[in-house]
Chains A and B, each alone.
Chain A
Amino acid sequence: EAGVTQFPSHSVIEKGQTVTLRCDPISGHDNLYWYRRVMGKEIKFLLHFVKESKQDESGMPNNRFLAERTGGTYSTLKVQPAELEDSGVYFCASRPNKYSAGTEAFFGQGTRLTVV
């Protein structure tokens, strides 16, 4: 069974450009989470989808970040325009269903974003 996959694994862009990160969760997992780790800091929650609905986007830093989950399958996270402080590793994770309180979240390998 395929795990959580993220694309690209690395991205280097210039300040002001746009970047779109993609996450394919484990098939059948309703819950999809986006997290970010900025160098030297903790992993911070960005947002959570349940199927195609944004359940919680309280961690999104500002309106330069837009996340979507088309048809409840894969998700994209777009940063437009990118700023230097957006650099970090963006992780995606998935969990099965709404009764997932005690279940493991599976993580993708992350996308390392560098804004120069």
Chain B
Amino acid sequence: RKEVEQDPGPFNVPEGATVAFNCTYSNSASQSFFWYRQDCRKEPKLLMSVYSSGNEDGRFTAQLNRASQYISLLIRDSKLSDSATYLCVVNIPMVGYNKLIFGAGTRLAVHP
């Protein structure tokens, strides 16, 4: 089983739609979680961290379910500029250091 799994998509949605991505992780010791966004031929950039209580940043909402070991990202009122690959990133605590593992990414295409 992969350490971090995501539905690769693509998700093709019209402008204004609401879209949700899920990500599951296998290591129950994982403590920190992130959503990164990667545009074509660019480096990944942090979209938002995921907090235990859930957190919202404008049109974006992230949720964490520790019991089921998944995190989610909800995008409301999709914009054309939201088209990108969304990467689920999990911090796995090791002995004396922290390891970051990436999911394969979910592609989102927002069309007019």
Residues of A within 8 A of B (CB): 31, 33, 35, 41-45, 48, 50, 55-56, 91, 93, 95, 98, 100-102, 104-105, 107-110
Contacts and interface: CB of A to CB of B under 8 A. Distances in A.
A107 B44 contact: yes
Interface in B57-109: 87, 89, 91, 93-94, 96-105
Given A98-B98, A101-B93, 6 more contacts: A43-B105, A55-B96, A100-B98, A101-B31, A107-B43, A110-B43
A105 B91 CA distance: 10
A33 B100 contact: yes
Contact of A43 (B32, B87, B93, B97): B87
A55 B97 contact: yes
Interface string B15-48: 0000000000000000110100000001111100
Chain B interface size band reads 20 to 34
Contacts of B89: 105
Contacts of B99: 45, 48, 56
20 contacts: A42-B103, A43-B102, A48-B99, A50-B96, A50-B97, A55-B94, A55-B96, A93-B100, A95-B98, A98-B96, A101-B91, A101-B98, A102-B32, A104-B34, A104-B46, A104-B49, A107-B45, A109-B42, A109-B43, A110-B43
At the interface, is chain A mostly helix, strand, loop or mixed? Answer: strand
A101 B93 CA distance: 7
Nearest to B42: A109
A22 to B, nearest CB: 15
B87 to A, nearest CB: 7
B5 to A, nearest CB: 10
Contacts of B105: 42-43
Nearest to B98: A101
Contacts of A102: 31-32, 49, 91
A35 B102 contact: yes
A98 B97 CA distance: 6
